[in-house]
Amino acid sequence: MMQKRLDGRKFDELRKIEAKVGIIPKADGSAMFRMGDTLAYAAVYGPRSLYPRFLQNPEKGILRCNYNMMPFAGCGERIRPGGNRRSKEISYVTEKALLPVVNLDDFPNAVVDVFIELPQTDAGTRCAGICAASMALADAGITMKDLVVAVSTGRIGDKLLVDLTYDEEAYKEESVADMPIAMLGRTGEITLLQLDGELTKEQIKKAIELGKKAGQKIYEIQTKALKEKYMVK
Amino acid sequence: MTNLFVKNKDIVVPGEELATGMDYLPGFGTYRDSDKIIANRLGLLSIDGRAIKVVPLSGKYVPKRGDVIIAQIKDITLNGWILDTNSAYSAMLQVKDAVSEYITKGADLTRYFNFGDYIVCKITQVTSQKLVDVTTKGPGLKKLQHGRIIKVIASKVPRVIGKQGSMIGMVKQATDCRIIVGQNGLVWVSGSPKDELLAVKTINKIGQESHISGLTDRIKAFLEKESGKKITAVVTE
């Protein structure tokens, strides 16, 4: 049985987090979010006009997310650049995780584009991406009812833990499950819940509990980073 | 039980609880969730009596009726021009709202406004679907010639103009430039190349530092140092 985590963290301890807002001056909003060795950049453009025209919705605006791991990210094995099945799925779930907070009624017929790029990855990329994207959306001045925080939870053997690294996700000695969660920062309502592996009902409940606690810490860091951009120096 | 969790001029983020209890009213940039008032924009908090609102620090321009904006001609249609307004929505300028003389059907509209021209125009109508109508009939509304166009963040425009135009007045006085500020964040600057550069630099500085108090004094000192002129029209915050 696993007594200690591979990198010496406690089971409910997050990796070192760094967050910064407004790092891409040309974008309408942008943010960087780093969790250990996982690094995500998010840039937001818009609301801007949407073409081709058949995509437009006259009742409300559209949120478009694009998640991309850079070819050199990960283990160093070169990946074919551009989208693949996985990135398409993560773009989709990211969009669904962010949609509940964004007020789309503000911009009918228009679009807000969110681009998430990951230059370096060590598991938990969709969570880092969602954290960065929600900060970038706020920075872009989009009306949103809350910030979205995301954290991965999981299980190795019978131990539940948060914020898994790649080595933990790929742990061979014992069975592993991993469950990314995205939730609203203030209310804790869940906007994304995926599960890879097996968890019992009790374990899921506990994992969500752990995730919510960790999420609060991330929420504080996000809030601080957003305020820091405008602090008087 | 009424409680206020924030101070006036605090920076707030979406989802931040501002107050509880029914004694305060949610204004722009906030919403009410049962008895709490929550921010839904990133911005500067402003408490005005019982009303709490958030003054945005970022965000794209949203067309509003009555705004005077600077827009660029991007297309010409049968009965008017389509303008780029530096927002998500383009505006329509009808011939009847632009020219007073009689124009025959099928006349060449590029005689008045050509592709790429910048014009100062006023928004006359915005529908719920954000169809925007503008006019160039009115004082100060015209085609812009010479000079250069720069962009500032639309939510900072009131600070660039200042109270009763005090801020932009200072820039005009120090740089001898003619300047027009559109509500959509486009600014037209015209003067000698050196003066234009200083004006552009100053306007960008205002945009970057607008949320920090003592802005007027800082900009005044900056202008006096850079231009070597004494600025007389003193307006303090």
Beta carbons within 8 Å of B199's beta carbon, 6+ residues apart: B171, B175, B177, B179, B189, B191
pLDDT tens column, A199-226 = 999 999 999 999 999 999 999 999 999 9
* List of residues 6+ apart from A179 with CB closer than 8 A: A152, A153, A154, A193, A194, A195, A196, A197, A199, A204, A207, A211
Contact B152, B203 (CB under 8 A): yes
Length of chain B measured in residues: 237
Residue B202 main-chain phi, psi, to 5 deg: -65, -45
Is B13 within 8 Å of A223 when comparing Cβ atoms? yes
Helix (H, G, I), strand (E, B) or coil at B235: coil
* Amino acid sitting at position A24: I
b/e B24-49 (16+ beta carbons within 10 angstroms → b): bebbebbeeeeebbbbbbbbbbbbee
Query: Which of B14, B15, B60 has its CB closest to that of A47?
Result: B60
DSSP B121-172: EEEEEE-TT--EEEE--STT--EE-SSEEEE--GGGHHHHH-GGGHHHHHHH
Q: Which of A54-58, B137-141, B226-230 has the lowest mean pLDDT?
A: B226-230
Q: pLDDT tens for residues A159-174? A: 999 999 999 999 999 9
* The residue type at B81: W
Taking an 8 Å cut-off on Cβ atoms, the answer to whether A141 and B16 are in contact is: no
Selection from A223, A37, A32 nearest residue A116 by Cα: A32
CA end-to-end span of chain A, whole Å? 50
Q: Which of A145, A146, A185, A178 is nearest to A159 (CA)?
A: A178
> Residue B105: what pLDDT?
80
A with B: how many residue pairs have Cβ under 8 Å apart? 91
- Alpha-carbon distance of B24 to B33, in angstroms, equals 13
Cβ A116 vs Cβ A129: under 8 Å: yes
**Residue B195 main-chain phi, psi, to 5 deg:** -65, -40
Q: Could you tell me the pTM of the whole model?
A: 0.93
Q: Tell me, what's the pLDDT at A209? A: 96
The model's confidence at residue A231, banded by pLDDT at 50, 70 and 90, is: confident
Q: How many CB atoms lie within 10 A of CB B158?
A: 14
Contact B42 A46 (CB under 8 A): no
Tell me which of A57, A103, A134, A142 to substitute to probe the interface with B (most B C-beta atoms closer than 10 Å).
Answer: A142
Q: What percent of chain A has pLDDT over 90?
A: 89
B236 pLDDT band (50/70/90 cuts)?
very low
Give the tens place of pLDDT for each residue, A123-162.
999 999 999 999 999 999 999 999 999 999 999 999 999 9
Q: Distance between CA A233 and CA A15 in Å, rounded? A: 28
Task: Give yes or no for residue B143 having a pLDDT over 60.
Answer: yes
Cα A210-B18-A18 angle, rounded to 5 deg: 45
Q: Which residues of A touch B (CB under 8 A)?
A: 28-29, 46-49, 58, 101, 103, 106-111, 138-147, 184-186, 222-223, 226-227, 230-232
| C-alpha separations of A210 from A36, A155, A194, A231, B151 in Å | 19, 11, 15, 32, 46
Amino acid at A7: D
A28, A103, A230: residue with CB nearest B11:
A230
Neighbours of B149 (CB within 10 A): 15
Q: What is the per-residue pLDDT for B233?
A: 62
